[in-house]
Structure 1
Amino acid sequence: MSGRDLYDDIGTGYSSGRRTDPRWMAEVLAALGGALRIADVGAGTGSYEPRDRTALALEPSVEMIRQRPPGASPAVRAVAEALPVRDDSVDAALAVLTVHHWTDWRAGLAELRRIAPLRVVLAYDTRRHTEFWFVREYVPEIAALELTRPSADDIAHELGAGTVTPLPVPWDFTDGVFPAYWRRPAAYLDPGVRRACSALAQTDPGAVERGIGRLRADLHSGRWHERHRDLLGLDEWDAGFRLIVSRR
């Protein structure tokens, strides 16, 4: 299933679960520096789109575009592999947690290089996600999917990145990315939370339901808290997210 088809299918209510976290927003803005014209590729609902400069959202999913808030930047339906943007016509190309959904991620990154001298990409270490307790202990089937996706190191290499900055996930993170609830496991019992996570939406529903059943039982018995007491004292955790910056 392509990114467009996936998010047309699961995107309903996406904006309520995937809210901008100001700590990550600050990192994205710092990486964009003085860039004034931004192409937000795979923009989704625009969670990390700068509001203080000119931006064009490029997004294939009608459902995602529909949920963009009032006053958001204009949006054009487009896929990353064939952007309707002229060569070097923007200062920066921004791509936040989208590359792993592209049909041909290398072609998409070539498009980022074509349209902008600065590329800012937020991606993640796929192997780190396979080690996440939810995957390892409850839905190991997710690992097979994650390992088919381009990892942050692959993307950084392809772009010839100048910097790769880890972005830890605070315990009270407001953006419901898949590992966001690493210290709040009961959140995964909520179908709305699961629906906003593509890794769960693309995994066999039977496997997910079995895993959720085991998690529910472990939370009820206290087994999860006993097993993961080391996490409960942490304010943030490295789930493998990386901010990749490439300049020409």
Structure 2
Amino acid sequence: MDTTTGRAPATYDRIGTDYSRIRRPDPRLHALIGLALEGARTVVNVGAGAGSYEPEGVEVTAVDPSQIMLDQHPGAVKVRAGAEQLPFPDHSFDAAMAVMTVHHWPDPLGGLAEMRRVARRQVVFTWDPTHRTELWLLGEYLPEIRDLEHARFTPLHTVVDALDAHTVLPFPIPHDFTDGFQIAYWRRPELYLDATIRQASSTFAQLPPSVVEPAIARLREDLASGAWHRRHADLLERESVDYGYRLIVAG
């Protein structure tokens, strides 16, 4: 079934090839999401991608607008569709989950309403653009990422209100976070030099090389000279940092 709309398919059709290798589910985030989904027997994963963070031992229906992403999904039930038009009857599932995907939806409020329509419980992991602790990469090298992220992420309070959520849980990002989205390498700056790693992040994938490459060249120079380590010596001793990532539970 194909009911795709919007920008997400194009983005993930470009970056999806190495996605499952670099975007490996982090066990700590997996455990947190698993607790939020505890007791559900049927789950729809909206914007499922390669199936990260789905609970074990339940019946999962994977929904994604990108065929390349669905091809990497190991599940048996996969539906190509956008979040705003979920092709299921009301209350078809015990729970609906969405992990780092709402910002890709052309109509986030419409997609969240669809999650409420088709499932009794909703679990959403997202980032709050109003959170003030910022990744050093934005301020020092790529302010263009800040502009892009603030333009596409729905404020946390808007998501909470749309879902009528009862729980919002912070998730500080561990220094050895295994899921290679943009924030993952806050204490491992050398990994941002790897073009393959950058390409698995939708943010980097949407910026032109004329913007990214000079910034990465400056980072490479600062790492070689030790300037980055001098500026961020405090980060090298931290186990995790709260960068504004939140798990929202409703229903």
If the length of structure 1 is used for normalisation, what is the TM-score? 0.95
> Residue 13 of structure 1: SS of its match in structure 2?
helix
- In structure 2, what is the equivalent of residue 57 of structure 1? 62
The answer to whether structure 1 residue 84 and structure 2 residue 87 are counterparts is yes
The answer to whether structure 1 residue 156 and structure 2 residue 160 are counterparts is yes
Q: Which amino acid aligns with 1:17?
A: I
Q: 1:17 to 1:154 in 2, by over 3 A?
A: same
Q: 1:32 to 1:174 in 2, by over 3 A?
A: same
Q: 1:73 to 1:239 in 2, by over 3 A?
A: farther
Q: Is the Cα contact below 8 Å between 1:138 and 1:214 reproduced in 2?
A: yes
- Distance in 2 (CA, whole Å) between partners of 1:186 and 1:128 is 25
- In structure 1, what is the equivalent of residue 24 of structure 2? 19
- In structure 2, what is the equivalent of residue 243 of structure 1? 247
Which one of 95, 120, 142 corresponds to residue 117 of structure 1? 120
- Distance in 2 (CA, whole Å) between partners of 1:8 and 1:118 is 29
How many residues matched?
Answer: 245
- In structure 1, what is the equivalent of residue 14 of structure 2? 9
- Distance in 1 (CA, whole Å) between partners of 2:22 and 2:243 is 18
If the length of structure 2 is used for normalisation, what is the TM-score? 0.94
Q: Give the superposed CA RMSD.
A: 1.3
> Residue 45 of structure 2: SS of its match in structure 1?
strand
- Distance in 2 (CA, whole Å) between partners of 1:240 and 1:193 is 22
Q: Is 58-67 or 151-160 further displaced after alignment?
A: 151-160
> Residue 66 of structure 1: SS of its match in structure 2?
helix
In the TM superposition, what is the alpha-carbon distance from 1:142 to its structure 2 partner? Answer: 1.0
- Distance in 2 (CA, whole Å) between partners of 1:227 and 1:127 is 24
Q: Which amino acid aligns with 1:35?
A: A
- Distance in 2 (CA, whole Å) between partners of 1:173 and 1:141 is 24
The answer to whether structure 1 residue 195 and structure 2 residue 199 are counterparts is yes
In the TM superposition, what is the alpha-carbon distance from 1:141 to its structure 2 partner? Answer: 0.8
- In structure 2, what is the equivalent of residue 31 of structure 1? 36
Q: Is the Cα contact below 8 Å between 1:129 and 1:146 reproduced in 2?
A: no
Q: Which amino acid aligns with 1:192?
A: T
- Distance in 2 (CA, whole Å) between partners of 1:196 and 1:129 is 25
Q: Deviations over 1:66-107 (max 9, x none)?
A: 1123xx242110100000111001000000100000000010
Q: Is the Cα contact below 8 Å between 2:135 and 2:183 reproduced in 1?
A: yes
Unaligned runs of 5+ in 1: none
- Distance in 1 (CA, whole Å) between partners of 2:160 and 2:22 is 28
- Distance in 1 (CA, whole Å) between partners of 2:224 and 2:36 is 43
- Distance in 2 (CA, whole Å) between partners of 1:11 and 1:23 is 24
> Residue 226 of structure 1: SS of its match in structure 2?
helix
Q: Is the Cα contact below 8 Å between 1:130 and 1:136 reproduced in 2?
A: no
- Distance in 1 (CA, whole Å) between partners of 2:217 and 2:132 is 21
In the TM superposition, what is the alpha-carbon distance from 1:154 to its structure 2 partner? Answer: 2.1
In the TM superposition, what is the alpha-carbon distance from 1:152 to its structure 2 partner? Answer: 2.6
In the TM superposition, what is the alpha-carbon distance from 1:16 to its structure 2 partner? Answer: 0.5
In the TM superposition, what is the alpha-carbon distance from 1:204 to its structure 2 partner? Answer: 2.5
Q: Is 210-219 or 140-149 further displaced after alignment?
A: 140-149
- In structure 2, what is the equivalent of residue 218 of structure 1? 222
Give the percent of matched residue pairs that are identical in Structure 1 and Structure 2.
50
> Residue 91 of structure 1: SS of its match in structure 2?
strand
Q: Deviations over 1:140-169 (max 9, x none)?
A: 111111111213332112211101100111
Unaligned runs of 5+ in 2: 1-5
- Distance in 2 (CA, whole Å) between partners of 1:168 and 1:51 is 24
Q: Is 127-136 or 8-17 further displaced after alignment?
A: 127-136
- In structure 2, what is the equivalent of residue 136 of structure 1? 139
> Residue 148 of structure 1: SS of its match in structure 2?
helix
The answer to whether structure 1 residue 74 and structure 2 residue 82 are counterparts is no
